[in-house]
Structure 1
């Protein structure tokens, strides 16, 4: 049984909105409290290597990765932050208001498929567990191509994309169709990435098996995924 786009989006909104109410980026008992270390370190390095830079966080959530980057930079930095959930953007903006973070944030409540990317605009584009939530493989390809075009020379992408996802309803001890729009094999996604970003230097490319407990309206599920990390630089 395939799930409808509406059903998937509603379920993901339920999970994330509930999680954002219970935890913050300071929580040690949630994934929110643990930014992607290498992603953040690369962002800080890129920002500190030039006097002025512009970054893009696609699927920013409540700022799990963007805020640590901002805290680590010593130079002028603008971060455009895009998320579909108003709750996420509201929480993110409130966190920024309460702190002394210097970089400028622009917030967009938008489906990333509808966020217009201008050519040669960004020094760094990062996205964690978001691109697989585009509506279709065709849309995924289009957005990846737009990301490539939006990058400045010497800019980098840092993408984490889930693949081969399965979900197991714990209470009933049964597999269920995963709440995911684009569920491709890791091989297929890697081939797409290598093809689209051909001519760029690949800094890192790896696949890691991960497992999470997810709170769904039907009960707790165990989600297993082959998470792809892809990091590449447009070195001209």
Structure 2
């Protein structure tokens, strides 16, 4: 499997405050890797290091593919239309305006948002804003999406629809995704693999491989079925053995 992103013994310290403690992972092309852990343990900080927004105190991050962050707050520019918001990334990459327009329009059409190109962010639902945020990341030609609890503020039904949407574009575009969440059901629905972080300073307690077909409650090799994975994750996160 082609390696898209590699973190080796990544640690981060601000003065006497230790945030991350020797975190390592290898993320394969097309993989969907989720990260769970207690609030404030450093999950978001780790994403920022992977995106080269922060420099680790020790360790290294390698990988040549372009990555882009998708936040819980979509961070759309309220004074711009949806089309203009998506055009921002290719324009910042040096594309001519006509080319940026074509890229943005094509992506919005692919994501079934082309009817809303002239709308402003305040006119869209929460789920649609998140779709635009993902479109903007794809417009930057990102091959890796680093997603920081992007659906946490959405209601249950909207979140379910966004799961289907994300899995669809993940498959169609062969994207590599790292996904921070607190929701174990979300992890099981979306992920190929999950890393569990400890309390701060964060270290990797355990990494689980999840079965692809959750309708079959069976174990395949080292993969866990959905019921087993949920039970195991609850045990780990509640600090229990077994």
TM-score by length of 1: 0.34
Larger radius of gyration: 2
